[in-house]
Amino acid sequence: MEQITISNIKIDVVRKEIKNIHLAVYPPTGRVRIAAPLKVNEDAIRLFAISKLGWIKRNQRKFEGQERISPREYKQRESHYFQGRRYLLNIVETDKTQKVVLKNKKFIELHIKPETPTSKRHEIFTEWYRVQLKKQIPAIIDKWEKILNVKVDDWQVKQMKTKWGSCNIEKKRIWLNLELAKKPEHCLEYIIVHEIVHLLERHHNDRFLYYMDTHLPNWRQLKIELNKLPVSHADWSY
């Protein structure tokens, strides 16, 4: 990936088989990316970036105030998110199976042995998130396979630091960020639709936008909502 610097702002440059230059500023850190046609030279890209400098800075300022979630310590009454809802953590000491239990609409329980280290608590919670997310995904994929008349051969969940999802078009496989377990289901659905549409169109071009606008008309609002939600101490973007 190429990178240019304009007014002390680093801009990633990706070249694609597209007709026009596209500019994006990604939350939560305000990372800037330009997607440019293959034949456009660097000088043209720089001039384009300079012309959009005011817009870039305005959008970066928006993300400066975005709520951040500090690293979790898995202590009593600590806040944790699941499917878009905030829960308070209740620690339950036990000599039996260590697990996470969704108690009600306010509390989520972590059943652990006394003196369980933070790393192990994180491991238990992460695995619970993984299981819960994997329960949500199949029905959504099945729904959109029928709508879009396309087949997803495989899907997986993993921790991702730079994207909410990705798609391997050749293998018809989609990857989904484990962090989506913490987000509302309609945001998860938006990401799944986005990745499935890539099986119909590789690039974020007019044809891709046509599919999104036709089948999920409110996708732009869902994207904004997802990117405004509290983010963990790791960097997320889409």
What's the Cα-to-Cα distance from 113 to each of 101, 109, 119, 127, 145, rounded to whole Å?
15, 13, 13, 17, 43
Which one of 14, 40, 64 terminates a domain? 64
Structure confidence at residue 228 (pLDDT)? 78
Closest CA to 156 of 130, 194, 132: 130
Q: Report the C-alpha gap between 4 and 12 in whole angstroms.
A: 7
Q: What pTM was estimated for this model as a whole?
A: 0.75
Structure confidence at residue 224 (pLDDT)? 86
Residues 103 and 155 in one domain: yes
Give the number of domains in the chain: 2
Residue 186 in domain: yes
141 alpha-carbon distance from chain centroid: 17
Which one of 64, 90, 113 terminates a domain? 64
Residue 123 in domain: yes
Residues 197 and 93 in one domain: yes
Structure confidence at residue 27 (pLDDT)? 67
Residues 13 and 108 in one domain: no
Residues 51 and 153 in one domain: no
Structure confidence at residue 209 (pLDDT)? 96
Q: Report the C-alpha gap between 218 and 154 in whole angstroms.
A: 26
Residues 43 and 148 in one domain: no
Structure confidence at residue 237 (pLDDT)? 43
Q: Report the C-alpha gap between 36 and 204 in whole angstroms.
A: 11
Tens-level pLDDT at each residue, the chain (238 residues) = 789 999 999 999 999 888 899 998 886 678 899 999 999 999 999 999 999 999 999 888 876 766 667 789 999 999 999 999 999 999 999 999 999 999 999 999 999 999 999 999 999 999 999 999 999 999 999 999 999 999 999 999 999 876 899 999 999 999 999 999 999 999 999 999 999 999 999 988 999 999 999 999 999 999 989 877 876 655 444 4
Residues 25 and 95 in one domain: no
Q: Which domain holds residue 174?
A: 79-228
Q: Which residues of 112-130 are buried (b: 16+ CB within 10 A; e: fewer)?
A: beeebeeeebeebbeebbe
Residues 202 and 113 in one domain: yes
Q: In terms of DSSP bridges, do strands 2-6 and 99-102 run parallel, antiparallel, or are they unpaired?
A: unpaired
Residues 37 and 86 in one domain: no
Residue 236 in domain: no
Residue 74 in domain: no
Residues 195 and 154 in one domain: yes
Residue 8 in domain: yes
Structure confidence at residue 161 (pLDDT)? 72
Residues 135 and 83 in one domain: yes
Residues 84 and 41 in one domain: no
Residue 152 in domain: yes
Residue 166 in domain: yes
Residues 51 and 93 in one domain: no
Which one of 64, 89, 114 terminates a domain? 64
- With beta carbons less than 8 A apart as the criterion, state whether 121 and 100 touch: no
Here the CATH number for the domain that contains residue 218 is: 3.30.2010.10
Helices and strands of the chain, counted as H and E runs: 6, 11
